[in-house]
Amino acid sequence: MRAKLVVGNWKMNGNLVQNQELLTAIIPGSEGLRDIICAVCVPYPYLPAVQLALKDTHIFWGAQNVSQFDLGAYTGEVAVEMLLDFDCRYVIVGHSERRSLFGEDNHTVAEKFKKAQSAGLIPILCVGETLAQREIGETERVIEEQLDAVIKLTGANSLTQSVIAYEPVWAIGTGRTATPAQAQSVHAFIRSKIAKQNTEVAANVQILYGGSVKAGNASDLFAMPDIDGGLIGGASLNANEFISICSAAQ
């Protein structure tokens, strides 16, 4: 049985004071949650403060990106070891904003995935199609290529120690959510693709949906058989919204 997982992606938002206020409001709300895992992925500079705030709670934390390289001369990069110093459990790799704004291609994302996983972090691998790709019927092909790059580098078995997030690009930050049926169909496609290589891995891997999830639409999405929770952007910056979404996953 797969546990439901809800992960907040704060993106490049917040400051020390606002983050503390947000966490102070989320922590009590998270205490009543049963059988679900909650986490927040925060900007790098706030990891020490977030670690301190969350270390005795049920909420996990992580980062939004990581370098594919070993420690060394890579100005501006952050290595997996650095994330481990702050007890991160998760790291997002291949978010569509990284792919479209910072030129990360499937191979780079796969290298980041591998590096994170080999260090013991749980990579949250984001996949998803643009609106133009969906409209010409390319959704499955695009997602297959994104997954294949990782499988080729790490093997399908590695997906056991990871999370996949299906995030249609047209639904991220747009207020336009995939319908539960649209999302379920892609989640089922992802699981069946993995099952062709390893049925046990396919049965166990958590596949999250991301794209304008809110308190009002979370329950219907999370009720779908292959949707194991959500990756939440904008709504994770509001404590009540985030806790309501987490509650919807129970």
Question: Which residues are marked as active site?
Answer: 95, 167
CA distance 99 to 102: 6
216 binds ligand PEP (CB under 6 A): no
Min dist. Cβ of residue 186 to ligand PEP (A): 14
CA distance 222 to 202: 18
Give the number of other Cβ atoms within 10 Å of residue 128's Cβ. Answer: 27
Residue of the chain from 40, 213, 221, 246 that contacts ligand PEP (CB under 6 A): 213
Residue of the chain from 147, 232, 246, 248 that contacts ligand PEP (CB under 6 A): 232
7 binds ligand PEP (CB under 6 A): no
Comparing CB distances to ligand PEP, the nearer of 182 and 198 is 182
Comparing CB distances to ligand PEP, the nearer of 95 and 115 is 95
CA distance 57 to 59: 5
212 binds ligand PEP (CB under 6 A): yes
* Site residue total, ligand PEP (CB under 6 A): 14
Residue of the chain from 167, 226, 228, 241 that contacts ligand PEP (CB under 6 A): 167
Residue with tokens 């909420």: 59
Min dist. Cβ of residue 237 to ligand PEP (A): 9
Min dist. Cβ of residue 231 to ligand PEP (A): 5
CA distance 229 to 106: 24
26 binds ligand PEP (CB under 6 A): no
Comparing CB distances to ligand PEP, the nearer of 190 and 201 is 190
123 binds ligand PEP (CB under 6 A): no
Piece of 31-39, 98-106, 229-237, 240-248 that binds ligand PEP (CB under 6 A) = 229-237
CA distance 246 to 236: 10
9 binds ligand PEP (CB under 6 A): yes
Comparing CB distances to ligand PEP, the nearer of 62 and 234 is 234
Residue of the chain from 40, 80, 156, 231 that contacts ligand PEP (CB under 6 A): 231
Residue of the chain from 8, 128, 229, 234 that contacts ligand PEP (CB under 6 A): 234
Q: Which residues bind ligand PEP (CB under 6 A)?
A: 9, 11, 167, 172-173, 210-213, 231-235
Annotated binding site for substrate: 9-11, 173, 212, 233-234
